[in-house]
Each structure stands twice: as C-alpha cells, then as structure tokens.
C-alpha cells in the first residue's frame, strides 16, 4: 500500500490503454472468475463452501488503502455474527467499511491511520481487528509455514462452515499491479491446484484463480510496513 | 417503496426477534442461495451465464429507496460498457449508485426524487435510466405478457452473454416483507423451475431461488406509483 501516488499513476496509464471499460489485463498464468473457464472451475471446485457466504457480501474497497477493511467486512458478514444496524438498513444489521471500527478495533488500528502513510493494514493488524470482534484468529506469516501446510489448511477451511481465510500477498509477485494487497479466499480447485481470490479492488481486477504455489510465493514476501515480517494469511472463526 | 416508515417498523420488529445476526426469515417456498441446497442449484443451473458478471459486481442498495440504482449499477458494470473513473478507484472505472446519474439519466429520474415520496423507481423509470446510458432496452409489464413467454425469454437471456434482466416485483406476493422491489436475475434452474434473484437489499434478504410462477405473479401486480400499470421486467443489452 506504499507509494499510493505511484500506484495510481501506473493504474491510470494502464486504464487509458484499455478505454476504462474493463479491469486491468491479467497475465496468462491467472484465470478470471468472469470467464467461461473461471466459472467452470468454480462449478467443479473441490472446496467452495466459503464462496457462497462471501460472494453474497462481496464488496468494493471504499478507497485505495481499504483492502483490509473491505475484506474484514465481508468475512464478518459471512460469519453471521450479530451485525450493526442503521437507518439505512431498515434497522437490520450489516457490517461495512466504517462500522467495523468499533472502539476495540480502533484500539488495534484506527481507521484514520489506514488512509495515511504508510497506508493500509498489515497482516497482523487484520488479525488484530478481527480478534477485536471477539473471534478466534490465527495469523500465519508465510515464512513460518510452507506451501503444503498452507494448501492443506486452506482447503480444509474453505470446505468447512466454521473458518474463513484472508490472504495478504504482493501483487507484483503474481504479475499484477503492484503492491501489497488483502482479500478473502473463496474456493480451491484441485484439478488445477488453484485458489480463488475474491479481490475487493473490484475496479482493478476480477476475482482470480491463482496457482497455490504462486499465491504462497506472493505471500512469502517481506512487508517493510510490518517490521520486515513476511505477508501470509489469517484464519478466523467464531 | 411506499410507506417506508411502516416497512422500517415491520423490519425492525422482525430483526429484534432474530437478534440482528441474520437477514429476515424466508418462507418455505423460497430457497436461499446461501444454503447447501441453494448453492447446489446454482452449480447445476441450466442457465447461469449472467450470474458471474453480476455476482462480481453484487452490491447493497445505499438506502431503502435505492433498489433501482443498485440494480442498474450492477447491470452497467456487468455489461462492460465504459465506466466512470475516480480517484477512489485509482483512475479506473466502476459504476456506483451515484455516478449512474449522468445528466441524461437525471433527466429521466433525478436521484433526489428517488429518496422522496413516493420513493424508489418504477419499472419504466428503470428502463428509462438504462436507455439514457445508450443501451437497447425493452420494458415488459407483466400484464402484457404471460408466464411462459417470460420464462422462455428470461432463460434465453440468462444464458446468453448479451442481455441482462432486472425484475420489478411485489415482495409480499412471494411472502417477503413487503413492498415493490427491483433486482437483477442471475440464473435459472430447470429442475425446480426457479429463478435466482440477486436481491440488492442484502441486509434484508439473501439471494433467493423463487419459482417462476410465483415470481411472475409477483411481477403481475399493480404499481400505484406507476399509473396503476403492473410491475414486470426490463431486458437490456449494449
Ligand atoms: Ca475441480
Ligand atoms: Ca470455511
Ligand atoms: Ca438444474
Ligand atoms: Ca445474458
């Protein structure tokens, strides 16, 4: 999330060349969910329990630094814990990118700090904000894990109706533009060994199927905003 | 959309009884997408092409009168026409419930009028706003059609990659609370003769599988805000 201006300029230049009718181009190695091939992968996915509760709460990050809050709001809604009510929701409950910041969450990471340098949330801050909502959270830095462990954990938890997984990865490592990013995982396809990322930067990229090894490598990158720890994933349950 | 206060009170009373952790209860006749049965219907749906581009732009209506604008934003994004850019989207494009109101759209229905009595948009206004985006639009009042024609048209258009369909129906006719509502259709399942409605009032109800006949009957109801014409559906393509 650093160098927001540089990211914006790069994205804008790319947008000009695609006439702004679509998201940024994807590398050959990645499959968009919004293609016949990507749709077929979901229909025949070996682990897709989490896709449904997440997809019905799929949302676009409110600003370029808010991938963390958008991902957290989706997961809190999917977990079906009691949701904050408002007049705008007829007195019914829904988490959004503002009301996730309860006093306990603000104590972990103030909303205002996310839109100021160094911008965004770290893996540990995402875990901390989720824990502030009284959830059981496990934060795993990729350097402390390995591909096989991640794959097996993620498959198990994508298939159950208890856990959700959020991944924090470096976009450039999977040939996307450009910096650190956070989004929930929706599904796993065994035939292609790919995970589905429900990318909350919906103006920038569609949900993508990315190879497990490529995703793990993109998580196993150093985050200079997080004491040079590696990125990784957060597992959360009620 | 009339009697917003009465609707709010009813919803609030229902919410109290469900602890606000979930959406309102559904009748037996309706299947939520976010259940194993509902998910299985999507995976084995006979027409689901439109589900994917719509689902990746699924959004919650910004206020209780904005089911029309939310549905229109989803469909404009799914159609992949050039999208308005902003700083908040890194200069990339995305339709939302504010920027759909171009001058041409405002000339059909001003945004401000939607949040004032009689609240919301009529079927003809939804068609008019879409047409103001230079799209080919067909507005069909249910009284001018019949169940078989609607079913066949909707199946064909849900399966192609050109058209999208928005339905305008009376919630109480399918045992939901309460008034007129607008949302896009996502899929059709032949085995159960059900359509999937991607309900933009996401705090209130999940996406639902509703029987074709019940949906048609709910569209074939008089809208006193639209010169007593019946509700119905809008078909739109580039
Ligand atoms: Ca498979
Ligand atoms: Ca799970
Ligand atoms: Ca079927
Ligand atoms: Ca279609």
From the CA of A159, how far away is ligand 2's center (Å)?
A: 5
Q: What is the pLDDT of residue A77?
A: 97
Confidence bin at A11 (pLDDT 50/70/90): very low
Q: How far is CA A184 from the centre of its chain?
A: 4
From the CA of A223, how far away is ligand 2's center (Å)?
A: 27
| Alpha carbon of A22: minimum distance to chain B alpha carbons (Å) | 6
- Of chain B, the percentage scoring pLDDT greater than 90 comes to 88
| Alpha carbon of A222: minimum distance to chain B alpha carbons (Å) | 24
Reported as a single tens digit per residue, the pLDDT across A170-182 is 999 999 999 999 9
A152 Cβ contact partners less than 8 Å away, ≥ 6 residues apart: none
Reported as a single tens digit per residue, the pLDDT across A50-79 is 999 999 999 999 999 999 999 999 999 999
Q: Concatenate the DSSP letters of all residues of A67-136 into one string.
A: HHHHHHHHHHHHTT----B-GGGTT-B---TTTT--HHHHHHS-HHHHTSTT-S--HHHHHHHHHTTT-E
pTM: 0.92
Residue A20: pLDDT above 60?
no
| Homologous superfamily in CATH for domain A4-237 | Phytochelatin synthase, N-terminal domain (3.90.70.30)
Confidence bin at A86 (pLDDT 50/70/90): confident
Q: Is A57 known to be catalytic?
A: no
Angle between helix A67-78 and helix A123-131 axes, rounded to 10 deg: 40
Residues of A with CB below 8 A from B64's CB? 88, 90
What's the distance, Cα to Cα, between the start and end of chain A in Å?
29
Q: How far is CA B229 from the centre of its chain?
A: 18
Contacts with B, A 111-150, CB within 8 Å: none
Residue B212: pLDDT above 80?
yes
- Out of A50, A124, A199, A225, which one is annotated catalytic? A199
Residue A21: pLDDT above 90?
no
Query: What is the signed CA dihedral for B68, B69, B73, B78, rounded to 10 degrees?
Result: 10
- Of chain B, the percentage scoring pLDDT greater than 70 comes to 91
């Amino acid at each position: 999330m650093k160098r927001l201006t540089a990211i914006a300029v790069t994205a804008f230049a790319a947008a000009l060349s695609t006439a702004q009718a679509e998201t940024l181009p994807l590398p050959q190695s990645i499959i968009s969910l919004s293609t016949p091939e990507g749709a077929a992968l979901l229909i025949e996915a070996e682990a897709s329990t989490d896709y449904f509760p997440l997809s019905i709460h799929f949302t676009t990050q409110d600003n370029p630094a808010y991938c963390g809050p958008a991902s957290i709001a989706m997961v809190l809604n999917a977990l079906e814990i009691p949701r904050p009510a408002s007049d705008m929701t007829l007195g019914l409950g829904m988490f959004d990118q503002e009301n996730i910041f309860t006093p306990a969450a603000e104590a972990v990471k103030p909303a205002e700090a996310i839109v100021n340098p160094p911008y965004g949330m770290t893996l540990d801050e995402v875990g901390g904000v989720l824990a502030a909502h009284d959830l059981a959270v496990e934060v795993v830095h990729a350097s402390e894990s390995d591909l096989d462990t991640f794959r097996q954990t993620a498959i198990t938890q994508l298939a159950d109706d208890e856990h959700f997984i959020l991944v924090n990865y470096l976009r450039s490592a999977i040939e996307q533009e450009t910096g650190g990013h956070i989004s929930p995982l929706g599904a796993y396809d065994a035939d292609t060994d790919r995970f589905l990322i429900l990318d909350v930067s919906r103006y920038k990229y569609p949900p993508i199927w990315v190879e497990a090894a490529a995703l793990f490598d993109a998580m196993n990158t150093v985050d200079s905003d997080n004491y040079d720890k590696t990125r990784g994933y957060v597992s959360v349950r009620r």
